[in-house]
Amino acid sequence: MLRYFFIALGLFLVGLLAVAGFRGQKSGKPPIEIFPDMDHQPKVKAQVPSEFFADERGNRLPVPGTVPIGYEAPVSKENPFPDEGKYRMVRYSTGTDYLNTGRFGDRWGTGIPLPVTAELMQRGQERYTIFCGVCHGASGGGNGVAGQYGLVAIANFHQDRLREMADGEIYNTIVMGKNTMLGYGSKIPVDDRWAIVAYVRALQAAQTATINDVPPAERAALETPPTQP
Ligand code: HEC
C-alpha cells in the first residue's frame, strides 16, 4: 500500500517539475512569487533618478552636521550640529601593535594601553551600556534584555575563566566577536574598545571586592549599617 503511495508521489513530483519548471525556454514574465518577502519596495538605487525628491536626484548630499566615519564631533545641547572641520579623528585599528590587536607577538597581553582616568572609565561605562549591556547585562551577569528574546548562553563575566582572561583577549572579542557574538570592530573605535575593557574589569572587580579594597577613610561609612528611615 505504502509503496503505491510513494510511486504515486514520485510520479506526481516528476509531473509537477515537468509542468512548472525546467521548460528550457526563457521567459520575460516575472516569476510566481509565493513569499514575496521584501522583494518589491520603494527604494533609491545608486546613480538612478528618484521621483521622491523635488530635484529628482537619487543620490543625496549628506545632511548638515553629518560626521564622517572614523571621526567624532563634540556635540552639545547648545551646538547639536558640529561645525565642519571640528571633527576629531578616532582610531580604528590598522596597526599590529598591542594597542591595536591586544597581542604581544602570538600571546594575549594584559594592561590598558591608555591612561586609565575617570573620564576613560565613564566613557567605558557609557559605551558598554550602549554596545554590550543589551546582552551581557548592566552588571555583566549575562542577563541582558536580549536573553528574554531568545539569545542563549550569553557569557557571564563573573566566572573564573573570564576573570582570569587577558585584557587583550577581551579586546579581541570586542573586535572579532566569539561564536554567537558578532564582532563590533567596525562600530567601536580603538580607544573606546579599551575603555570598555577597563569597565568590564571594573564590573568584575565590583563582584569580588572586599572592604580592604575601599580606601581606609571611606570604610567607616560602609561598615555602619544603614539606618531605617
Ligand atoms: C548580541 C548580544 C551580544 C552583544 C551586544 C555583546 N555580546 Fe559578548 N557575548 C555574547 C554571547 C552570546 C557570548 C557567548 C559566546 C560563546 O558562545 O562563546 C559572548 C561572549 C563574550 C565574551 C567571552 C568570550 C569568551 O572567550 O568566552 C566576552 C569577553 C564578551 N562577550 C564581551 C563583550 C563586550 C565587551 C561587548 C560590548 C562591546 C559584547 N560582548 C557585546 C553576546 C553579545
Q: What is the pLDDT of residues 126-163, one digit of tens each?
A: 999 999 999 999 999 999 999 999 999 999 999 999 99
- Which of the listed ranges 62-71, 125-134, 216-225 does the model predict with the highest average pLDDT? 125-134
Answer whether residue 153 is part of any domain.
yes
In a domain, 50, yes or no: yes
Q: Is the pLDDT of residue 4 over 80?
A: yes
Please tell me the predicted confidence (pLDDT) of residue 82: 64
Give the number of domains in the chain. Answer: 2
- State whether 103 and 75 are in the same domain: no
- pLDDT reported for residue 51: 87
Element (H, E) at 11: helix 2-20
Instruction: Tell me what pLDDT residue 40 has.
Output: 84
Give the pLDDT mean for 57-77: 79
pLDDT tops 90 at residue 104:
yes
pLDDT surpassing 90 at residue 107: yes
Q: With residue 75 as reference, give the H or E element that holds it.
A: none
Distance CA 124, CA 200 (A): 8
| 119 Cα to the center of ligand 1, angstroms | 24
**Domain coverage including residue 162:** 98-209
What is residue 23's predicted lDDT score, i.e. its pLDDT? 62
pTM comes to 0.73
Mean pLDDT of the chain: 88
**Taking CB atoms and a 6 Å cutoff, what residues make up the pocket around ligand 1?**
131-132, 134-136, 146, 151, 153-155, 162, 170, 173-174, 178-181, 184, 196, 200
Assess whether 201 and 109 both reside in one domain.
yes
Residue 183 lies in a domain: yes
Residues 107 and 128 in one domain: yes
Judge contact between 166 and 109, C-beta under 8 A. Answer: yes
Q: Is residue 184 part of a domain?
A: yes
Residues 72 and 112 grouped into a single domain: no
Atom of ligand 1 nearest to the CA of 197: 35
Question: Which of 173, 174, 191 for mutating ligand 1's site (highest number of atoms within 8 Å of CB)?
Answer: 173
Pocket residue to mutate for ligand 1, from 157, 174, 176, 178, most atoms within 8 A of Cβ: 178
Report the pLDDT averaged over residues 25-40.
83
Same domain, 69 and 105: no
> What residue has cell string 594592561?
111
Of 82-91, 119-128, 147-156, 219-228, minimum mean pLDDT range: 82-91
My answer on whether 61 and 126 are in the same domain is no
Answer yes or no: do 83 and 109 share one domain.
no
Residues 75 and 154 in one domain: no
